[in-house]
Structure 1
Amino acid sequence: MDFFPAFLRLTDRQVLVVGGGDVACRKVDLLLRANANVTVLSPELHPFLANYADKGRLAYLCKNYEEGDLAGFDQIWATTDQRKLNHQVYSDATARGLWVNVVDDPNFCHFITPSMVDRSPIQVAISSGGASPVLVRYLRERFETMLPQNLAMLANYAGKQRDRIKEHFNTVDERRKFWERFFRLPEVEHAKQVEELESAFSRLLASPEATNQTITIVHIGRDPELLTLKALRLMQQAEYVLYSHDCPDIFVDLCRRDAERELVQTHELIEKAVDLAKQDIRACVLTSALPTKEMMQAASQLSNKPIFVSASDTKA
């Protein structure tokens, strides 16, 4: 491990960015989002940064860099297009015991910034230690499609319920089990409004032991590349995968790796899924045939409607 992963609190910390060009723009924008007190030092300033300076969001020192400019700062960024100058900043900052990042030059960094999937307050950071930035961007794009867009709402809502939960459950273990059940509720995963979360929360709080699981039925078709993002995400959430003889292995392999898998006769798929769901096990049915009305009615024995996703339905 070349770099230790960590998230830094920069609120009100003094951060110096040496350089005022395109690279500085990207870094300054992120630093301001983290509520850092940013000072940019450069003889010239990009219009994007000049706009921030005019609005009082950053301090601007219009000058060439000197070693004494580091005094009073907690963190240093070297973003100029002059390699020699960046390395000088690194040497000077290191001598003062300051953390420094020379952008795009990991050998001259005490820390690096990962690629991020931001659903604040939920953040997912991905890094290759500078070895393969393009691969990291590719992985970030994959995670962006896999992670629900309502994560920020979920996290903020859950954070406000801590005292409320403590009134109902005395132990950490009880509270943990409650939250695990809550976040797995289909109506929670697909919620778009806080009111939907509150409804699910109140109901589960009133009956914490009630089973309320939903079956996912994925019509696989023939081409795995036609699977929708929604189908792939639900397949990754499955705890138990049920499939028949006519289901190609590639579709089963695309499901969550640690999920239980069972080969079942086609006419028994839904019945088996219902049994699992009644045990509060998240079941995913992979079928090459469109579910019949009878199959869907059988699945509807649960309190939630079954989720049906078709490989050929790009709107799913």
Structure 2
Amino acid sequence: MDIQKRPVLVVGGGEVACRKIDMLLQADADITVIAPSIKSYLARYVEEDKITYHKGFYHRNLLDSKYVQVWATTDNSELNHQVYKDAHDAGILVNVVDDTAHCDFITPSMVNRGRVQVAISSGGSSPVLIRIIREQLETQLSTKIAMLADFCADKRNVVKQRFATVDERRKFWELFLRSPEIETLMTRNELEHAFTRYLSNEIKVSSERNWIEYHQETEMLTLKSLRLMQQAEWVIYFNDCPLEFVELCRRDAERITVQSEQEIADYLEQADKEQIRVTILIKKGHLISNSQLQAYLSNDIYVQTL
């Protein structure tokens, strides 16, 4: 929900309110706090004119219809539920912190890398688990992602002018952003040089066949398997393949279920003609008997499960 410059009411001025107000400030909301007293942490925000503070106890008359959100953050459940009822009566979205049953909306834990934001949520069931997951993602997502996102935003029109079709533009961005050198580039100037070089090249479209072997658990797939599965335009698999493996493939790839090896061979022949990148999911221990597929395998990438 876009709450930039829009009025939001927070009832309560304790530690919970501090956490939520920090989040609301990141969204650039227009924040009003109602509480008999507030933490010194929030008092600094008042002094800096970042939030508005009304000293006193909550009562219904303070609940103006101008607010787009209301947050009940006190340690008094009876008061929080009264805020919930009043907000509902006024047609305002409300969140009672740590009480999912009395929330019209919940807020995910966020990992921010500039324009790139990753939201993690357990539906309010396990905040500690979500915090642990967020900590893991914080260590894995480079801060350079923010620079890359800004760069891509600035170059979108340049790429549109260079390539006529959506497919060509998508393939260009994949080639550029997946290039090994991207990992080593640290400055905007270095990105400019690499971008110019890639932009001058023609997009070479070629078919590609990747055979990914799966077993019982998705965690047994290799990192190489996951990378190749994300590059597929078609995903071919027998109808007994567990869906959790299929769902790890690229989201906009076409899903194709088959019942025989000959069907796979027919689809691969079509993919060759249309220059399509294909991932074939194959169960561990399955022996290919079709001679056409055997011929393909001699030139294809086959990644075994762990």
Which residue in the other structure is 2:191 paired with? Answer: 197
Which residue in the other structure is 1:272 paired with? Answer: none
Alpha-carbon distance, 1:284 to partner: 9.5
Query: Taking structure 1 as reference, are residues 177 and 238 closer, same or farther at Cα in structure 2, changes over 3 Å only?
Result: closer
Q: Distance in 2 between matches of 1:180 and 1:75?
A: 39
SS of the equivalent of 2:132 reads helix
Report whether the alignment pairs 1:45 with 2:27. no
Report whether the alignment pairs 1:117 with 2:117. no
In the alignment, structure 1 segments of 5+ residues that lack a partner are 1-7, 212-231, 241-256, 264-274, 286-316
Q: Is the 8 A contact 2:171 2:203 kept in 1?
A: no
Q: Is the 8 A contact 2:14 2:39 kept in 1?
A: yes
Which residue in the other structure is 1:55 paired with? Answer: 48
Alpha-carbon distance, 1:233 to partner: 7.4
Alpha-carbon distance, 1:66 to partner: 0.7
Query: Taking structure 1 as reference, are residues 118 and 234 closer, same or farther at Cα in structure 2, changes over 3 Å only?
Result: farther
Alpha-carbon distance, 1:144 to partner: 2.3
Alpha-carbon distance, 1:108 to partner: 0.6
Which residue in the other structure is 2:160 paired with? Answer: 166
Q: Aligned to 1:94, which of 80, 88, 93?
A: 88
Query: Taking structure 1 as reference, are residues 87 and 36 closer, same or farther at Cα in structure 2, changes over 3 Å only?
Result: same
Q: Distance in 1 between matches of 2:204 and 2:166?
A: 20
Report whether the alignment pairs 1:178 with 2:204. no
TM-score by length of 2: 0.67
Q: Is the 8 A contact 2:168 2:203 kept in 1?
A: no
Q: Distance in 2 between matches of 1:44 and 1:233?
A: 52
Render the CA deviation track for 1:50-101: whole Å, top value 9, x for unaligned.
0010011111100100111111211100111111101100000011110001
Matches within 5 A, 1:231-270: 237=227
Deviates more, 1:31-40 or 1:174-183: 174-183
Which residue in the other structure is 1:154 paired with? Answer: 148
* Corresponding pairs, count: 228
Which residue in the other structure is 1:29 paired with? Answer: 22
Q: Distance in 2 between matches of 1:77 and 1:53?
A: 18
Report whether the alignment pairs 1:19 with 2:9. no
Q: Percent identity?
A: 46
Q: Is the 8 A contact 1:12 1:36 kept in 2?
A: yes
Alpha-carbon distance, 1:149 to partner: 2.4
SS of the equivalent of 2:118 reads strand
Give the counterpart letter for 2:31 in structure 1: V
Q: Distance in 1 between matches of 2:88 and 2:229?
A: 49
Q: Is the 8 A contact 1:150 1:191 kept in 2?
A: no
Give the counterpart letter for 1:12 in structure 2: K
SS of the equivalent of 2:67 reads coil
Which residue in the other structure is 1:129 paired with? Answer: 123
Give the counterpart letter for 1:55 in structure 2: E
Which residue in the other structure is 2:67 paired with? Answer: 73
Give the counterpart letter for 1:28 in structure 2: I
RMSD value over aligned CA atoms? 2.9
TM-score by length of 1: 0.65
SS of the equivalent of 2:111 reads strand
SS of the equivalent of 2:70 reads strand
Q: Distance in 2 between matches of 1:146 and 1:236?
A: 16
Give the counterpart letter for 2:122 in structure 1: S
Q: Distance in 2 between matches of 1:116 and 1:42?
A: 27
Give the counterpart letter for 1:101 in structure 2: N
